Structure formats: structure tokens, C-alpha cells
């Protein structure tokens, strides 16, 4: 016999079941708080003066003056009052979010009733990491992403639990933006450089998008998403959406002002590692380990097309990097009458690369009907690099791009001319696998980094090394 329970029935019976079993803080309660609460209640963004990233902090009072958790006394625990669902189906917390499901509320309530014990294993307890207790490095971090601030005064570099801001002039550390995420996978400034978006998370536990006020060095938004790290950030042209890829095979976007999810598309069949908006912001491209680039209509969240060939063997290996080419052309070429209706679309080109080490340039929008076995959106294929390519980036003109790759402990960073398809400069003295590249706004300097925690600065015309430094904050 199948039993079907309504949400009301579930709310009625599950607390009774949950109360019978011993509730674990570490296994049961902590994951709920990570996913729903810690984005707004962490050292970098302690709303209401209340921090929820440590057991001891949960017992303290915030601005309300009331203890968040009173062991054995659910009626005196302010946290329970805040997350309790009222008769109208709403709760004070999570702020601007959906109330916790009945089973999750019951889990926390029963933990409090049972004495709110901390059963975190000694081996799992970590020292607090925040602005007052910055991460200590025993070795340089792997550099997964780099970004120049649009005015060219700052260079942002990924670290452990943080993003580090360096002065471009003297390469001195200016700020450490420390958040919840152990892994930081992707960073990107908005168009005017006032905000920095960060994608990362804790592997196997949660993903997170952070939005930082660059001038104030203040965390504005921490948006938890999925249960694993997230990748491949991109801002839309208006700065009203931040897109990213997930290991649950979805591509998503949030509103950077509120942290609320605004888009989700799920037709990829493996991890999504890169995203890029069209010039008009109406479409979003995404690439992933499933060897495909897909197109999503932003307004409807509808899958539109496979930009790349879908023929088996058309692409040899997963796609890991994606960038839209800056173009002056604003309108589509004339579309044949038998082609799918596109409408007044902006013409865009997309650069992608990955496991086979070959950069490829594609038209974003199809101009001819798809046929079995075709790859009609592909415009150009470039000279191969050493190993797999983890990062690609166009310069401001769109006439050149840079790519970073690695294979068997060695790496390559190169500059390509789009028109000829050839490498115009190979950056010298790359000591190991390279994962990230970033162009200075003037196009004269290229920053790259990778496995050994060294940031290299090269002349983009000659490939000559100008400077380098190791990311090892003290």
C-alpha cells in the first residue's frame, strides 16, 4: 500500500517521529543552519548582531537581547520564535526566504528540547576564520580565478576562504575579503567596479554566491545555493543578475541586491562550469563537463538551443571555460527565411575551451536550421594548447584573447589573435599548471595564476614576464 501525506499531515506526524530519535547538532541541525541561515548570520555579515556559524555563538543573544538558543527551553529560545511558521504560513526568518519545512523546524526544536548538545567531533572542529582571525597559510593557495578592477587599480585573486585585493602599482595587499566558503572558484567585478561577485562553497556541503562592496570591503549578500561548490560567474550587462554553474547540472542566476534566485535551467547532463550573458542580456550561455554549450532565454528560463554540435565525438572532452567576445556589431546578420525565427537579436560570439586544449569560437544564435551532425555555429578553431584549458578571456577590444592550461605539472599561458587564429605571444616562465587569466583594462598587461599560488604579470605583446608574486598573506 502506498501512503500519500499532505504537507499538513507531514507537519503533524514528523515531529513525533523526530522527537523519538536523538537529534545530532553536527549531522542534523548544522546543515539546516548552513543552508538557510548562515548567509546573513556570519562574522562578515552579522545581521541582528547574531552569528550562527559556531555552536557557542548560537547560545548568545543578538540585538534582541534574548538568547538564540536556551538548552532544554524551546519557549525561551529566540531562534525558534523567529523561524516558527505563523497561522498565515509565514515566518520572520529566513528573511526574504521561504519558511523552513515542518520537519526541519521540528528537528531544531527537538534538539533544543533534548538539551541542545554540541556533538561536533573533535576532528571536525575548526578554528574560527573571519576578519579578526584570517586564514593562516602553510602553503600558497591554488589560484582559480583573477580579475582586474575596471579602473585598473586593483587585482583580485582567489585564496582560501577569501579573495585578496592587491594594488596593481606596487602589488601590495590592500584587503582580505573573508567569507564562509572554503573554496573560491570564480570572481568577477561588475561594470563600474563597485561590486565584486564571488562563487564558491564547501565541497559536499554548500555552494555560495557572495556580493562584496569593494570600497567598504563589506559583504552585502551571501546567498547559499545547492549542496556543493559553484562555478563560472558572470554579470549581465545591466548588473542586475549574476549567473553561475552548479554541480547538480543546473545553470542559475541570482539578483545581486537580494540574493534571490532569478533563473534556473537544468538541461545539462553534468557539472556546469562557465556562464556568459549576451550583450543585450536576453540570453545566457553555459558550458560544462557534458561537452556542450547551451543557450537559455533569461526572461522565461527556457532552454533554447545547443550552440555546439550535439553529435557524439563532435567535442572531445568537457568544456571548462567560456567568455563572450566584446563586439561593436549590434544586430544579427540577415537570417535565411528557412531558419528558426530569432527576432531582433544582438549578434554575439562565444569563446570556449576545455579538456582537449583547443579554443573554439561560436556564434551564440543559430542562423540556419540544425541538421544531424552539423556544427554550423562554429566560426573558428584555434591552435591547441598544452593540456586542458581552464581559463579564457578576451581583451577589451575583442581582437585578442588569452588562455591558460596545464598538463602533468607544466602549464602554458598564451595570447591569440582572433583574426588569424594564431598565438601571438607565449608567456614566459610559467612554472606549473595555469588555471586563470585576466587582462588589465589597457590591454598591455596579462595576469595569470595557477597551481603553485604565483601570480604572473606579462607583457601581452611579447609574452615577456614583467613581475610576479606569491599569494602568501601573513
pLDDT per residue over 195-221, tens digit each?
Answer: 999 999 999 989 999 999 999 999 999
Assess whether pLDDT exceeds 60 at residue 17: no
Residues 298 and 418 in one domain: yes
* Within a domain: 131: no
Number of domains observed in the structure of the chain: 2
Residues 155, 299: Cα–Cα separation, whole Å: 33
pLDDT (average), residues 235-244 = 98
Same domain, 351 and 455: yes
Average pLDDT value for residue range 155-167: 97
- Contact by Cβ (8 Å): 321, 288: no
Asked whether residue 449 is domain-assigned, the answer is yes
**End-to-end distance of the chain based on CA atoms, in angstroms?**
63
pLDDT on residue 3? 38
Confirm whether 371 is domain-assigned.
yes
Q: What is the mean pLDDT of residues 115-135?
A: 80
Tell me: do 327 and 407 sit in the same domain. Answer: yes
Identify the DSSP state of 27. I
Q: What is the pLDDT of residues 337-349, one digit of tens each?
A: 444 455 567 899 9
pLDDT the model gives residue 37: 84
CATH number of the domain within which 453 lies: 2.130.10.10
Question: Which grid cell is 400?
Answer: 585578442
Is residue 129 included in any domain, yes or no?
A: no
Residue 9 has pLDDT above 70, yes or no: no
For residues 284 and 123, which has the higher predicted lDDT (pLDDT)?
A: 284
317 by DSSP, 3-state: which? coil
- The neighbouring-strand residues paired with 297 are 283, 302
Residues 285 and 403 in one domain: yes
- Is residue 87 located within the same domain as residue 195? no
* Mean pLDDT rounded to a whole number for the chain: 89
pLDDT band at 413 (very low <50, low <70, confident <90, very high): very high
Per the structure block, which three cell numbers stand in for 394? 578576451
For the sheet with 283-288, list strands across it: 272-277, 283-288, 293-297, 302-306
- Is residue 83 located within the same domain as residue 151? no
User: Which of 118, 137, 156 is at the close of a domain?
Assistant: 118
Residues 19 and 153 in one domain: no
Of residues 195 and 89, more confidence is placed in 195
More confident residue, 13 or 282: 282
What pLDDT does residue 240 have? 98
Is residue 177 helix, strand or coil?
A: strand
Give CA separation, 116 vs 69, 112, 226, 344, 421, in Å: 8, 4, 26, 60, 63
340 and 396 assigned to the same domain:
yes
Residue 142 predicted with pLDDT over 90: yes
Residue where one domain finishes, among candidates 103, 118, 133 = 118
Instruction: Return the closest-CA partner of residue 12 out of 106, 79, 87.
Output: 106
More confident residue, 137 or 43: 137
Mind giving me the DSSP string for 105-139?
A: HHHHHHHHHTT------GGG-----SSSSPPPPSS
At residue 124 the predicted structure's pLDDT band, cuts being 50, 70 and 90, is: low
**pLDDT of 334:** 55
Residue 139 covered by a domain: no
Q: What is the pLDDT of residues 20-38, one digit of tens each?
A: 689 998 888 888 887 788 7
Answer whether 434's CB lies under 8 Å from 450's CB.
yes
- Please determine, for residue 128, whether its predicted confidence score (pLDDT) is greater than 50: yes
pLDDT value at residue 173: 97
Domain boundary among 118, 134, 164: 118
80 phi/psi in degrees, rounded to 5: -65, -35
Domain that residue 233 falls in? 146-470
- Whether residues 299 and 420 share a domain: the answer is yes
**Residue 313 confidence (pLDDT):** 61
Q: Is 183 helix (H, G, I), strand (E, B) or coil?
A: strand
Do 405 and 263 lie in one domain? The reply is yes
pLDDT at 337: 47
Does residue 238 lie within any of the structural domains? yes
The pLDDT tens digits for 368-398 are 887 777 788 999 999 999 999 999 999 999 9
Residues 111 and 156 in one domain: no
Q: 404 and 272 in one domain?
A: yes
Q: Is residue 323 part of a domain?
A: yes
For cell 548544522, name the residue.
Answer: 30
383 domain-assigned: yes
Question: Tell me, what's the pLDDT at 330?
Answer: 66
Single pTM value for the model: 0.84
pLDDT of 85: 86
Tell me: pLDDT of 350 over 90: yes
Q: Is the pLDDT of residue 148 over 80?
A: yes
Amino acid at each position: 500500500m502506498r501512503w500519500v501525506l499532505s504537507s499538513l499531515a507531514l507537519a503533524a506526524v514528523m515531529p513525533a517521529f523526530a522527537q523519538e530519535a536523538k537529534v545530532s547538532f553536527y549531522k542534523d541541525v548544522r546543515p539546516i543552519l548552513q543552508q538557510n541561515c548562515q548567509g546573513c548570520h556570519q562574522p562578515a555579515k552579522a545581521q541582528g548582531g547574531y552569528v550562527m556559524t559556531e555552536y557557542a555563538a548560537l547560545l548568545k543573544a543578538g540585538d534582541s537581547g534574548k538568547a538564540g538558543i536556551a538548552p532544554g527551553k524551546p519557549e525561551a529560545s529566540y531562534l525558534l520564535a523567529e523561524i516558527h511558521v505563523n497561522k498565515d504560513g509565514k515566518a520572520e526568518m529566513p528573511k526574504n526566504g521561504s519558511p523552513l519545512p515542518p520537519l526541519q523546524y521540528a528537528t531544531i526544536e527537538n534538539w533544543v528540547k533534548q538539551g541542545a548538545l554540541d556533538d561536533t567531533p573533535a576532528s571536525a572542529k575548526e578554528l574560527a576564520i573571519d576578519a579578526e582571525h584570517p586564514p593562516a597559510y602553510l602553503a600558497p593557495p591554488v589560484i582559480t580565478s583573477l580579475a582586474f578592477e575596471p579602473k585598473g587599480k586593483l587585482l583580485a585573486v582567489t585564496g582560501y576562504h577569501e579573495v585578496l585585493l592587491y594594488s596593481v602599482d606596487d602589488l601590495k595587499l590592500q584587503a582580505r575579503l573573508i567569507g564562509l566558503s572554503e573554496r573560491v572558484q570564480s570572481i568577477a567585478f561588475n561594470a563600474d567596479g563597485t561590486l565584486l561577485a564571488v562563487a564558491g562553497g564547501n565541497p559536499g556541503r554548500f555552494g555560495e554566491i557572495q556580493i562584496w562592496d569593494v570600497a567598504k570591503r563589506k559583504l552585502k549578500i551571501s546567498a547559499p545555493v545547492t549542496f556543493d561548490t559553484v562555478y563560472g560567474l558572470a554579470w549581465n550587462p545591466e548588473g542586475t543578475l549574476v549567473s553561475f554553474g552548479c554541480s547538480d547540472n543546473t545553470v542559475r542566476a541570482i539578483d545581486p541586491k537580494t540574493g534571490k534566485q532569478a533563473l534556473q535551467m537544468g538541461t545539462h547532463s553534468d557539472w556546469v562550469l562557465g556562464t556568459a550573458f549576451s550583450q543585450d542580456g536576453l540570453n545566457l550561455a553555459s558550458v560544462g563537463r557534458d561537452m556542450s554549450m547551451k543557450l537559455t532565454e533569461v526572461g522565461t528560463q527556457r532552454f533554447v538551443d545547443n550552440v555546439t554540435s550535439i553529435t557524439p565525438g563532435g567535442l572531445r572532452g568537457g568544456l571548462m571555460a567560456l567568455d563572450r567576445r566584446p563586439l561593436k556589431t549590434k544586430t544579427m546578420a540577415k537570417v535565411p527565411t528557412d531558419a528558426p525565427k530569432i527576432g531582433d537579436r544582438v549578434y554575439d560570439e562565444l569563446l570556449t575551451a576545455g579538456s582537449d586544449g583547443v579554443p573554439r569560437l561560436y556564434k551564440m544564435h543559430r542562423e540556419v536550421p540544425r541538421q544531424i551532425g552539423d556544427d554550423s555555429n562554429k566560426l573558428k578553431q584555434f591552435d591547441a594548447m598544452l593540456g586542458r584549458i581552464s581559463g579564457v578571456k578576451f581583451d577589451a577590444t575583442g581582437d585578442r584573447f588569452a588562455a591558460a592550461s596545464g598538463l602533468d605539472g607544466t602549464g602554458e599561458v598564451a595570447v591569440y589573435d582572433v583574426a588569424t587564429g594564431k598565438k601571438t605571444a607565449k608567456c614566459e616562465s610559467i612554472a606549473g599548471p595555469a588555471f586563470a587569466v585576466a587582462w588589465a583594462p589597457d590591454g598591455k598587461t596579462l595576469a595569470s595564476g595557477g597551481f603553485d599560488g604565483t601570480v604572473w604579470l606579462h607583457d601581452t605583446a611579447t609574452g615577456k614576464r614583467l613581475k610576479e608574486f606569491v599569494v602568501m598573506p601573513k
